[in-house]
A and B are shown apart, each in its own frame.
Chain A
Amino acid sequence: MRILIILTMIILTLSNAEVKIVASQTCKVETLSKSDIGKLFMLKKKSIEQESIIVLDSSDKEIYHRFIKEYLNKSIRKIKTYWVRMLFTGKKIAPKKLSLEELHTLDDIGICHLSYIGKEEKKPQNWKIIQIK
């Protein structure tokens, strides 16, 4: 019985785990508000405190959807049509989507990259977790 309760708690904890925002080694930024994260990933903002930032979305559909719900507070359909509209009206192109493997092998070359992962332990080496204000 005890094992069952522990297992249930673990499953519940995992299923409710928040998507973690991660920043590459170059980034000076340590903390961000959800509003700033939304603006950065919608490309309404391209820098924080004069530091240029390149955001990268996840090609893992499940993590991408969780990120949209948790940080952008919009429906998946709304975000899809937002990027279609931005693209075909020449306004902006959606961030590149990378898999976790691609994120691990990304060449940072002095550019601050911001992305997100499903679990803290999957954080690429030398990247840091961004604290949410």
Chain B
Amino acid sequence: MILEMRNISKDYAGNRVLKGVNLAVEEGEIHSLIGENGAGKSTLMNVLFGMPVIRNTGGFTGEILFDGRNVDISSPKEAMKLGIGMVHQEFVLLPGFSVLENVKLNREKTKPNFLSRVFGKKMETLDYPAMRRDVRAALDSLEVSIDEMMPVRGLPVGYMQFVEIARELDKSKIRLLVLDEPTAVLTESEADTLLGAMRRLREKGISILFISHRLTEVVAVSDHVTIMRDGELVDRLSGGEADVERLAELMVGRRVTESVRERSVPETGAAILSVRNLRVHMPGEEVRDVSLEVRRGEILGFAGLAGQGKVGIANGIMGLYPAEGDVTKDGRAVPLNNPREAMNAKMALVSEDRRGVGLLLDQSIELNIAIRAMQTQGKFLKKIAGLNRIDAAAMRAHAARMMRDLDIRAGGEGQHTRRLSGGNQQKVCIAAALTLSPDLLFVSEPTRGIDIGAKKIVLDLLCDLNRTHGVTIVITSSELAELRAVCDRIAVIYEGRLAGIVPWNASNRELGLLMAGAAKDGRASERGAA
């Protein structure tokens, strides 16, 4: 065993994110670690690397053995000294530097000159020939033929990944290499090359811990697979036992979900909104090509792993991020990139970025509720001498009614929204959206950062809006259980495209496969659409 993490537990302010997790990586193997977002993989890695965030929040319990010896890793530097390297999901590369300069960033080889003898090591000349030899050796061990003098800007994304890996290899005596979703940004052929490189590193005796959502790759390359869910270890399989369907099922799990709402069978109702070839340029949540229809009166869920683009769809339709494509509401085309037009089409958005987009934090609750309707529909305004003035009485009355209806707990209509709890802030956002009297409401991550009690209230509220007011609702959420509880249909987004639409009670296996991009036959997508 090169690495053993035993019985690791960690909580953030009472919230247990790791519950006695064990992880054992053997010498010279490729070990995969899989789990949904929020399963605790990143926290486990933060523990392994002794990241400050762990120590600053009270440390962890459990023990770590590296190479059979008990180790206390208190900083990333120490992890590096032990021979543990990590390639992060986001590239740590300077675009204007060459491959060589990036690999050697802040570890440059230098040689003394006359000035450095006076002013110290900082003035030593860079030794390019020696660095070229090192970098060439690292790249050659990956068997990639990148020119080390090329600037990183303009390299294909797949090559940037290799630059990152070469950097870890170039650090002396690497024993264990952690790859955090290295294939997420790669095309299929690039991913194949990377898997090939991983196998070669294994032959050289370097152990690899491979974190990935792409189950086919996990199955193809792993010697062992560890599956985590909700901060717990679910199972540890050997490579031979693992197949995609089994992993998908273990990853998503059989979670007890109490149904909040009685559902009628999804009717083949008329479309309220139809989206054709939508592309949205939202950094980190790029939407590449999505076409679908939202039926009048339904609750539709957008599911998918972080970064796959589910969040971008509502933001694109509502004009918050640059978008292309055709969006038709009630048979009329809605111009994109224009929030006002989107609101005029009786659509409203409760943003996932509550504090950034959703609220004016230093303004009163009543103004937050009223302002969009004021700006786009001229509500709560009265004309005095030809000038528009805020009708304070009407605004206050409306806010008071909303606060009563939605049970917003606050010191009064005039309180600033900054000091409200997350649940109450979310309700103010919903109230503001409702004030636009939409017949189609987009809600993104409605329960993120809200405590459990408030979660239920928010979800009940959405169900109630749908049932009694006939508002069509589109919920984007990272929590599958939440979508299962309230939606009629769930649309799964993978790599910026629609992977499939399934009924709310589809099996875990089916959802898991869609979210991991492994459903290739299209069978799943037909079921929901029928």
Q: Is A bound to B?
A: no
B-side interface residues toward A, CB under 8 Å? none
A-side interface residues toward B, CB under 8 Å? none
